A and B are shown apart, each in its own frame.
Chain A
Amino acid sequence: MKLRLAGVHAGYDGREVVRAVSVEVPRGSWLAIVGPNGAGKSTVLKTMAGLLPSSGSVLIDEKVLSRKERARQVGYAPQDPVLPEGLTVTDYALLGRTPHLGPLARESAADLSIVEGVLDRLDLTELASRRLRTLSGGERQRTVLARVLVQQAGLLLLDEPTTGLDIGHAQAMLELIDRLRHEDGTTVVSTLHDLTFAAQYADHVLLLSAGEVVAAGTPAEVLTAQALERYYGAAADILTAGRGELVVAPVRPAPSAARPPR
């Protein structure tokens, strides 16, 4: 799925949060939306998912989709997903089949085998009959991803998929998303607050500040020390690791140069 936003304005209850966002996400690529707290990252993602009233155009493969079509082609995982405690992992993942069922239809054996396949890919088979409340943080995140994958959408919108995960689990999660993306040819858009992860996993980065796009391009183009200073008020160095990976490293300012955060 190719995603294109042109001149999109969106917000909540008439209050505009993001303005004039235009971006193009080619099929099979990964776009990371970054920016300081409150810049409107989640708002842009929700707008892409069609969950907020917006003006301008959100086009998927150059088409405006109805709610039902969108539900089949766009998967969305919020930053703080609600996991109904008493459901099993399989019950929960099966809810991802909703857009493919009629209003009165029941899941068929085919739907169940799609779920089993996804659980297998995400190493969740052993947890299939576990209740959601018994899962650890990493297992919860993978379960949410399973629910989204079961939707079999060509475009995945993931709001902070590494929230609450330690560095190892976060890395494993992003590796998993990247592997699935390559295997399925899925397009991924995610917000990420960890800029090193954004630099290493995304093909393109969109930097938002105060609701507007202030930079877009490859990680190396967008994530510069100047941009971090200007939009985050952060002192950071952009380092290069062994195989050329970018690392965004916060560097404590010298005492004389210290100044209050903006």
Chain B
Amino acid sequence: MPASVTRLRPVTVIIAVLALLVVLLLGTLIGAADLGWQRVLGEIFAEVTGGQSPLSAREAAIVWQLRVPRVLLAGLVGAALAMSGATFQGVFRNPLADPYLLGAAAGAGLAATIVVVVSPAAGGWVPPAAFAGALGGVALSWLLGRAGGGTGTATLLLAGVAVGSFLTAAQTFAQQLNTDTIRQVYTWMLGGLNVSGWREVLIAVPYIGVAGVILCVCARLLDVLSLGDAEAASLGVHPARVRLLVLAAASLATAAAVSVSGLIGFVGIVVPHVVRLLAGASYRVVIPLSLLGGAVFLIAADQVARTILPGELPLGVVTAFAGAPFFVAILRSSRGKVS
């Protein structure tokens, strides 16, 4: 393909995959427990070759049962939020669209709050409730958007705003009636991966994996949709069907991410825009690179969240704190490319 065609170039993919391997390795080697990175490396080497590990059984468990699943989950959640954000921006032709736009965040927040309020000890029910709540919020927005009569995206967007406000109000109300649980709810809302293990990874993988495949396959159709509904239809594409498919896939990935990590902002907006600025605006580039870039970004952010202070910072705080200046720097360095 000549330079005038925006396509995924092998060198770009290699760089992204290398970056992913680096943060995966760093995340495994360095953590809150001071095991010494050389000794962890020795443990990994021993695990692969079957040799003698420098770590005790308890230390090895910290690596394999806490760090590795947590790093993998950070990657999965980052990939899910970034590719979903890119999809939402494409479908709504709005650079500020994020994966929470259609009531996913508010629905998950309400469901999680209800679980915490009704039974503060049933923490294990928060993830499935949040998953159902996120999908419920999106489904409600979709149904309302259709009932509004419009087939376009403006009605759907407004329905999402209405549903989001309503569910958030309901969530705030439930929380105010039960102020003793406010801290638990608040901690969940700020987002974090501190309770994660292999179970969460296994829950999230299928949804995010399926959604990732669907979105990468449909990336070309997102480019066609960006011409507007009339032109897309004149090219033989069904705009409404494509929208339903990709929004469903993106919402599934978002719901899976929210259920295991709470609400982590900023990833869904910043990562796709950085990709656009650096690699081009075709969704055939933006979707797969957002997937990889989101994973890298969130693993790195989680690394900061769990190691920079003696205690643990909420991940959502770190993504915004680190993401905002980074985003501004990218914007400044590519002035003129953004109109």
Contact = CB atoms under 8 A, between A and B. Distances in A.
A99 B232 CA distance: 10
Nearest to A94: B5
A85 B149 contact: no
Interface stretch (A72-80, A166-174, A232-240): A72-80
A71 B237 CA distance: 9
| Most chain B Cβ neighbours within 10 Å, of A50, A70, A94 | A94
Nearest to B90: A84
Which 7 interchain pairs have the tightest Cβ spacing? A86-B281, A71-B236, A129-B4, A76-B234, A90-B4, A128-B4, A84-B226
Given A81-B227, A84-B226, A75 B234 contact: yes
Interface residues of A, number: 38
A200 interface: no
Contact of A78 (B230, B280, B282): B230
A39 B238 CA distance: 28
B223 A84 contact: yes
A89 interface: yes
Contacts of B6: 87-88, 91
B11 interface: no
B235 A87 contact: no
Contacts of A180: none
| Most chain A Cβ neighbours within 10 Å, of B3, B5, B217 | B5
Contacts of A85: 281, 339
B223 A95 contact: yes
Contacts of A96: 235
A46 B230 contact: yes
Given A51-B234, A96-B235, 6 more contacts: A72-B236, A74-B234, A88-B6, A99-B235, A112-B2, A151-B235
Contacts of A76: 230-231, 234
Interface in A233-256: none
A70 B237 CA distance: 11
18 contacts: A49-B234, A67-B233, A71-B234, A71-B236, A72-B236, A81-B231, A85-B339, A87-B6, A87-B281, A87-B282, A91-B5, A94-B5, A98-B237, A99-B235, A104-B217, A106-B220, A112-B5, A131-B281
Contacts of B228: 78, 81-82
A62 to B, nearest CB: 21
B1 interface: yes
A88 B276 contact: no
Interface string A92-136: 001110110000101000001000000000000000110101000
A77 B6 CA distance: 23
A51 B236 contact: no
Interface residues of chain A: helix, strand, loop or mixed (majority): mixed
Nearest to A86: B281
Interface in A7-26: 13
A68 interface: yes
Contacts of A151: 235
Contact of A89 (B3, B4, B220, B224): B4
Contact of A67 (B226, B236, B339): B236
B1 A112 contact: yes
Interface string B78-111: 0000000000000001000000000000000000
Contacts of A50: 233-234
Nearest to A127: B4
Contacts of B280: 86, 88
B44 to A, nearest CB: 38
A114 to B, nearest CB: 13
B295 to A, nearest CB: 23
